[in-house]
Each structure stands twice: as structure tokens, then as C-alpha cells.
Structure 1
Amino acid sequence: MTGINAPTRIPRATYASLVGERIRSSIMDGRLRPGQQLNESELAASFGVSRGPVREALQRLIQEGLLRSEPHRGVFVPVLSSADVDDIYLARVALETAAVRRITETSRAELAYKVLDPIVRTMCDARDTGDRTEVADRDLDFHTTLVAAAGSPRLERMFTTVISETRLCVSVLTAAYGARDDLVDEHRTISEMIRDENAEGAVAVLTKHFVEARVTLKRQLEVDSDRVRAG
């Protein structure tokens, strides 16, 4: 007999999703560090679930690029190389440029501006209060919203993996945001150019923004690598 007080079995897929979100959050906030290995049995015990949902969650995160599977070794939080950074931003330029052009060519510019401008305002407030983490989080929201505004499910689906890998860079970028006084202004300019249907101008600023982010990331990766070697 079923009723409001009857026990409800939680689907295995739900457990996998919950475990995946917990692991994703741990990667994003730095509790799981680059290079750290994840143990399936230990994760299952810590979450109080069987190994099946944990295995499924790990596979999803591997597909997103947030984890890396190494044959005969296990699953690790990726350690990004300079080549990884170059490839991530190569993909982002292609996808976000396509999004900008679709927005401006399909009468979506005004609507896109209406959803992008509040994010820019929040970034501005966070910058003024010195909240670098909030600036970094809203930066990612801005670009995710930009792609979604293009109204292309396939473009958005491809972007999901790339932005997930970008999130691996967040802790590195966050430290640099305090020195980037022009960061919020760049996002404001991009949103306003989209509003004005100035695709070429928006793409130019977007490209400059990515070049600066890529240079910052690669420089910090070199610093971190030197620190590790020095012990």
C-alpha cells in the first residue's frame, strides 16, 4: 500500500547525481586538489552509498573533463598543462564567437542584453567590495548565459564540457581578479555591443578577454610548477 507516509526508494540515478554534485563542489572549492586521486570505496563510505552510484558519478565527471581516468592507476583531479589551457580557450573562442554571431543575426540581441546586464552589475558590486570569488563565479555565469542566449541546444551542450574544464582554472584566476580592474568593464562592453548588434566589436573584446585569461593562467601554472619542484 502506498501513501504519504510510505517509504520511498530513491532512484540510483539520484544518488549518482548527488554524489557527482558533492565531488564537483569539492573540486571547485579546492578541497580536492589537482593531481589528487579519488578512491571509489572511500567515497562510497563517506557518502553512505554503494559503489555503483559513486562509479556512475565519477564517469559523468570524467566525461565533463573535471576528472581524468588513467589506465591501471585510477581516477584523478586533472593537473592542467599549458597545452590544456590553450586548447580550452581555443574551444571557448570558437563556441562563444558562434554564440555572439547567432544572437546578433537572429533578433536575440535585446533579450541577451537583458539577461547579461544584471550579471555585469553583480560583478561590479563584487569588485567594489573586494569579493574576488564572487567576481570569478559571475564571470563564468556571464559566459554560460551568453551561450544559452544563442538558443542553440547543441552549442550549449558542447559548451557545458568546456566551461566545466574552465572551472578547474577558477582558483588560479580568482587570485588575479584583484589586479584586473578592467575585467568588469570588458564584460559590460561585450554585453552592450551585443545589445547594439555589433558582433565584430563584441567578438574582438571577447577574444582579448580570453587572451589575457590564458596568459594569466599559463603564468600561474609555471609558478605553481616551480613551487612544487622546489618542495
Structure 2
Amino acid sequence: MATVQGIRPLDPVVQQSTPSLIASRVREAIAEGQIPPGSQLHESALAAQLGVSRGPLREGLQRLTQEGLLVSHRNRGLFLIELSPENIRDMYLAREGIERTAAAHVHRLDPDPVRSELLVAVEQMRRAAGSGDVVAVSDADVRFHEAMVAGARSPRLQRAHETVLTETRMCIRALEPTYADPRTRVEEHRSIAESFVPGGADHTDELIVAHMADALERLIAQQH
């Protein structure tokens, strides 16, 4: 094995395991709304759809259980978490903590590049809203929040955000029918993006808090 001076030989790259691939595929299906909140997951049907055996499937689903996306009910089976008021409140508690922290740090660094990135996502939202593509609006919405957290340049904060990203996407999908006019959603995000200017940290924080509170209210009202 060839070596570089001063560097110990590295182990060969190991391909992603089947359970990891299964977990990724099911996680994406959850985020895309293919598996509705509260749905029961049937192992035999999932194994057939994914073309895998039950052993790796169970291991993959166990990973999602450990992440909190799935819950096991004794004598009933495995279910996707519900968007209950309690779950929604807890999801937004985590989201708000991560995104407010990220935004505050962006302001301590340089808000200008992040503002530009966020406005790109807002423009994507605007175009999608204009064509009536609510799914594309949601996709751009997710990219907006990812860009804001990435702008803090904190690997640990970004990892924390990734742990709640699937639940975030679930909530954003659920928000789609609560907007009579999707342009309202676009303008909320535009206001946040434009607040990333020198000296604007407090205003950004106020807008994020209001944005999260509005989403929380819409989602909980939808459950009644």
C-alpha cells in the first residue's frame, strides 16, 4: 500500500451498508410526505417495495426509531410519529433554538453573503408560488433554512440542524394547505432574508421568532 510521508496508511473506503441505505430511503420518503404522519409501517410491504430482506430492513428502521422518527407500540407495530400538538411544539422548540443561534452568529460574522444566498431561495419560492407549484415552494423553503444555518459556519450547529431536518420537512409539507395565498409565505421569508444587514441582529431574531410562532399556530390549528 502506497503511503505519504508522515501519514499513516488509511483503511479502504467501506461502501454504505444496506441498513444505512434503507434508513436513508425511508427517511426521504417520510420527508417527502410519501408516508403520512401516524402511519403504520408494515415490514413485509416495505421489504417488497425496497427489494430487501427483513433483517436489513429491521436494522434500518431501528435507526429511524433511535432518531425519534418512528415509534414502536407493543403488540401493534411500528409507526411514524404523529404531528400532534405536543410533538409540533417540541419540534419547533428545537428548530427555534438552532436557527436563532445560527442567525445570531451569522450577524457576528458577515451577514451580507448569507443575505444573498437567502434571497436566491426566496426568488425560487416566488417563482414556484407564481406557477402554483406548492411542493417546489416547500423545497425552496427548506433550502432557505439550511442556508441560514450553514451561514453560521459551525459544523456542530449544522449537524444539530440535520438531526431535525426530516421533522422540519414534515412540518413544512404540512403547512402547505394553511396558506390561502403562497405569496404570504414568500414575503415572510423575504423579510427575514433582507434583515441580514450589519446591525440587524435584533430585527432578524424578532422575525425568526414571529415566523416560528406563526408556523406553530398554523400547524396546531390544523390538528383540530
The answer as to whether partners of 2:119 and 2:190 remain within 8 angstroms in 1 is yes
Which string of whole-angstrom CA distances, capped at 9 and with x for unpartnered residues, describes residues 133-183 of structure 1? 111121111111111111111111111222221222233211123435332
The answer as to whether partners of 1:28 and 1:170 remain within 8 angstroms in 2 is no
Output the TM-score relative to the length of structure 1: 0.81
RMSD of Structure 2 on Structure 1 (CA): 2.1
- Correspondence 1:99 to 2:86: no
2:65 matched residue in structure 1: 62
Letter in 1 for 2:67: E
Query: Pick from 196, 214, 217: which aligns with 2:216?
Result: 214
Separation in structure 1 between the aligned mates of residue 213 and residue 40 of structure 2, nearest angstrom: 31
Letter in 1 for 2:174: V
Letter in 2 for 1:171: R
1:51 matched residue in structure 2: 54
The answer as to whether partners of 1:67 and 1:78 remain within 8 angstroms in 2 is yes
Change (3 A) 1:26 1:202: same
How far does residue 189 in structure 1 lie from its aligned partner after superposition? 1.7
Query: Pick from 177, 182, 187: which aligns with 2:184?
Result: 182
Query: Pick from 26, 36, 54: which aligns with 2:39?
Result: 36
Separation in structure 1 between the aligned mates of residue 76 and residue 52 of structure 2, nearest angstrom: 23
The answer as to whether partners of 2:99 and 2:148 remain within 8 angstroms in 1 is yes
2:195 matched residue in structure 1: 193
Which string of whole-angstrom CA distances, capped at 9 and with x for unpartnered residues, describes residues 70-91 of structure 1? 3454321111211111111112
Separation in structure 1 between the aligned mates of residue 15 and residue 49 of structure 2, nearest angstrom: 17
1:229 matched residue in structure 2: none
Separation in structure 1 between the aligned mates of residue 80 and residue 192 of structure 2, nearest angstrom: 33
- Correspondence 1:26 to 2:16: no
How far does residue 24 in structure 1 lie from its aligned partner after superposition? 2.5
How far does residue 40 in structure 1 lie from its aligned partner after superposition? 3.0
SS of 1:130's partner is coil
Separation in structure 2 between the aligned mates of residue 14 and residue 110 of structure 1, nearest angstrom: 41
Letter in 2 for 1:58: L
Separation in structure 2 between the aligned mates of residue 114 and residue 177 of structure 1, nearest angstrom: 26
Separation in structure 2 between the aligned mates of residue 182 and residue 48 of structure 1, nearest angstrom: 42
Aligned residues: 211
Output the TM-score relative to the length of structure 2: 0.84
Separation in structure 2 between the aligned mates of residue 162 and residue 142 of structure 1, nearest angstrom: 15
Q: Percent identity?
A: 39
Letter in 1 for 2:23: G
The answer as to whether partners of 1:61 and 1:67 remain within 8 angstroms in 2 is yes
Moved more, 17-26 or 208-217: 17-26
SS of 1:194's partner is coil
SS of 1:151's partner is coil
Which string of whole-angstrom CA distances, capped at 9 and with x for unpartnered residues, describes residues 59-115 of structure 1? 2322333322334543211112111111111121111110011111123x1221232
1:141 matched residue in structure 2: 143
Separation in structure 2 between the aligned mates of residue 98 and residue 26 of structure 1, nearest angstrom: 29
Change (3 A) 1:12 1:36: farther
Separation in structure 2 between the aligned mates of residue 80 and residue 134 of structure 1, nearest angstrom: 22
Moved more, 148-157 or 14-23: 14-23
Unpaired segments ≥5 residues, structure 2: 1-13
How far does residue 120 in structure 1 lie from its aligned partner after superposition? 0.9
Change (3 A) 1:115 1:198: same
SS of 1:103's partner is helix
Separation in structure 2 between the aligned mates of residue 59 and residue 112 of structure 1, nearest angstrom: 37
